[in-house]
Amino acid sequence: MPQRQAMVPLTLKDGTHIPAGTRVSFANYQHQNDPSVTPDPGLFDPLRCYRKRHSTAELKNKFQAVQLDPDINPFGHGTQACPGRYFAVAEIKFIMARLLRDYEFKFLETQGKPKWIHADENLVNDPGAKMMMRKRK
């Protein structure tokens, strides 16, 4: 998620003053899990954005991983958005397709699903968690 540090004191158009050295970020996890932004945020729905995109003709090109939108912004928004997002998304798709085609995955039964770890505004799986992986037959 975009995170910046003010190198010099800065006053925004609305009068908000940001002292030098202040880190500024966006609470993306909380925003994305707000029911007014994402209906049923606790429910795993892998086709959520697909259905939104196909609900009307105007939304055909919205809700894609590379699109910039104030409500869905994994690559930032506006002039500070990541210029390499198209390449990054294509690479992720290639890697995931290869992994899913060639391998099987399973969490250890004694461990269960890994816990989430918060690091600043980032949310990641426990890096110490174990997963079994084998080549498909």
One DSSP character per residue, 17-72 reads EE-TT-EEE--HHHHHT-TTTSSSTTS--TTHHHHHHTTSGGGTTSS-TT---SS-
Percent with pLDDT over 70 in the chain:
97
- Collapsed DSSP state (helix, strand, coil) of residue 109: coil
Distance CA 45, CA 7 (A): 41
Whether pTM exceeds 0.85: no
Q: Give the residue, 137 or 17, on which the prediction is more confident.
A: 17
Q: Categorize the per-residue pLDDT at 135 as very low, low, confident or very high, splitting at 50, 70 and 90.
A: very high
Q: Is 74 exposed, middle or buried (0-12, 13-18, 19+ CB in 10 A)?
A: middle
Q: What per-residue confidence (pLDDT) applies to 9? A: 96
Q: What per-residue confidence (pLDDT) applies to 101? A: 97
Distance CA 41, CA 38 (A): 5
Residues 65-102: pLDDT tens digits? 888 877 777 787 788 788 999 999 999 999 999 999 99
Ranges of each domain in the chain: 85-137
